Structure 1
Amino acid sequence: MVKTKACPHLKICCGVTTILIFTVAVVFIVLAFTLFKPKNPEITVHPQGLENIGFGLTVLNASTINSTVEMVVTVNNRNYGSFNFKNATGFINYRGDVVASVPIQQSSIPPRGEFNISTVADFTVERLIMNTTFWADVLSGSVNFSADATLHGKVTMFNVFKFHASAHTSCDISIFVQIRNIQSICKTKIRL
């Protein structure tokens, strides 16, 4: 039986390759948990034309009154991946009642940048004014709403890696009647 000796160059080559693969794996793991870790985007709601909205105490026929408020939703994507989402609908609530729907058309939010989504909120005014606390809130100077929307789509990183994702956004919106101003605070959670 003849024993062959392993070439020392082969051992060195295998050792260097193993160290290189291990180093690259550690770098990818560190990047995945730090730099590429999904960050929740910052969202701000900007209604348009609030200066034209008035709150009068007389209504002729509340069952036929609807109001459309144009709005721009600004999304600040702090991630290194783009987010392509499908058509969705958001809902605006007043004290537990859905009072408006907000259609959101499919689009793509670029990585590391701001993106504006133009949409409208279709309010059913009857639901607002029939709520017993609505006029008290108007007279007090502020009307508070909450809004919810869930977007389903895909995250694409470096045009190579694609992941299914959903982003759920909830906002607290306050309309200050006398100065006709709005304040919104939104929180978003991303799920991969």
Structure 2
Amino acid sequence: MGEDDHQDEKPLTSSSSKIHHFPISVDEALSTELHKQRAGFRKCTLCCGIITAMILIIAVVMLVLGFTIFHVKNPKINMNSVTIMGLDRVNLTSQLLGNLTVVADVSVKNTNVAAFKFEKSNASLVYHDMVVGVADIPKGVAKARKTLRMNVTFDVIVAEITQNKQFGNDMATGTLPMESYTKIHGRVKIMNVIKRKVTVTMNCSISVSVTSWKIVDQDCKRRVSL
């Protein structure tokens, strides 16, 4: 083998022994879609969390308002004073017939944040289980957190008192036991959302002096029904 033959043979280069590594390709569309789904899930979770938090806050606020501002409180009715008129026309000691006018100063206290509207009603004056006088109470409105005062006028039939079999004994003791019954029907409406019907009843026991014709003792009991 000559020199030319050795010259024609070319040595193997090192590049022929290298291993080529090809990168693994990922579908970009699938990757983008997965990214969008994750972002949408995060947004949905965030929105749900915000809505839930708002609902809880509103519920707590409404609960607090329900026990404070929006809580319907029972109106209170009081009898402040009683005046007897027409004594110059009546002489009970001689059992003369006539009429008396009894004027009761009554107040309705409303502690609610809304007005208490009540219907027309009546009150009665009783002597030993016998009605001797009736008064009309006109419909009215006790404004929010205000006290409404009104005069309730009873027309008393004296004959109903003097003809009672207990009249003589009461005259001997110097006092006439009387009772008054007052009932008011109404309702409290707050922002057209909370409505409640309320009936306020007041029963008073009154002792009237037969000499001065003044109230010497008075005891009132109140009851509220819904």
Do these two structures clear the TM 0.5 threshold for a shared fold by scoring above it?
Answer: yes
Counterparts of 1:159 and 1:179, CA distance in 2: 51
Amino acid paired to 1:8 = R
**Pair 1:59 & 2:95 matched:** yes
State the SS of the aligned residue for 2:115: strand
Amino acid paired to 1:101 = V
Amino acid paired to 1:39 = N
Of 108-117 and 41-50, the range deviating more from structure 2: 41-50
Counterparts of 1:42 and 1:153, CA distance in 2: 12
Q: 5+ unaligned residues in a row in structure 2: which ranges?
A: 1-32
Counterparts of 2:125 and 2:133, CA distance in 1: 5
**Pair 1:189 & 2:223 matched:** yes
Amino acid paired to 2:83 = Q
Query: Shift of residue 49 of structure 1?
Result: 4.4
* 1:74-119: CA deviation from partner (whole Å, max 9, x where unpaired): 2222333321112111111112111110110111111222111123
Counterparts of 2:186 and 2:72, CA distance in 1: 18
User: Where does 1:69-80 land on structure 2 (aligned, <5 Å)?
Assistant: 69-80=102-113
Give the strand-richer structure, 1 or 2. Answer: 1
Q: Are the counterparts in 2 of residues 48 and 70 from structure 1 also a CA contact under 8 Å?
A: yes
Q: Are the counterparts in 1 of residues 84 and 214 from structure 2 also a CA contact under 8 Å?
A: no
**Pair 1:23 & 2:57 matched:** yes
Q: Are the counterparts in 2 of residues 42 and 187 from structure 1 also a CA contact under 8 Å?
A: no
User: Where does 1:115-130 land on structure 2 (aligned, <5 Å)?
Assistant: 115-130=148-163
Counterparts of 2:114 and 2:209, CA distance in 1: 37
Q: Are the counterparts in 1 of residues 86 and 101 from structure 2 also a CA contact under 8 Å?
A: no
* 1:36-83: CA deviation from partner (whole Å, max 9, x where unpaired): 2423414124223469577531034x3xx2222223212222333321
Query: Shift of residue 159 of structure 1?
Result: 6.5
Cα pair distance change 1:67/1:152, threshold 3 Å:
same
Counterparts of 1:90 and 1:51, CA distance in 2: 20
Amino acid paired to 1:22 = L
Query: Given the alignment, which residue of 98, 103, 123 partners 2:131?
Result: 98
Cα pair distance change 1:144/1:187, threshold 3 Å:
same
Q: 5+ unaligned residues in a row in structure 1: which ranges?
A: none
How many pairs does the alignment contain?
188
| TM-score, scaled relative to structure 1 | 0.78
Of 78-87 and 4-13, the range deviating more from structure 2: 4-13
Query: Shift of residue 133 of structure 1?
Result: 1.8
Q: Which has the higher contact order (CA 8 A, sep 6+)?
A: 1
Instruction: Report the identity percentage.
Output: 25
Match of 2:140 in 1: 107
| TM-score, scaled relative to structure 2 | 0.68
Counterparts of 1:31 and 1:170, CA distance in 2: 33
Amino acid paired to 2:204 = C
User: Where does 1:164-179 land on structure 2 (aligned, <5 Å)?
Assistant: 164-179=197-212
Q: Are the counterparts in 2 of residues 44 and 75 from structure 1 also a CA contact under 8 Å?
A: no
Query: Given the alignment, which residue of 66, 83, 89 partners 1:48?
Result: 83
Cα pair distance change 1:126/1:158, threshold 3 Å:
same
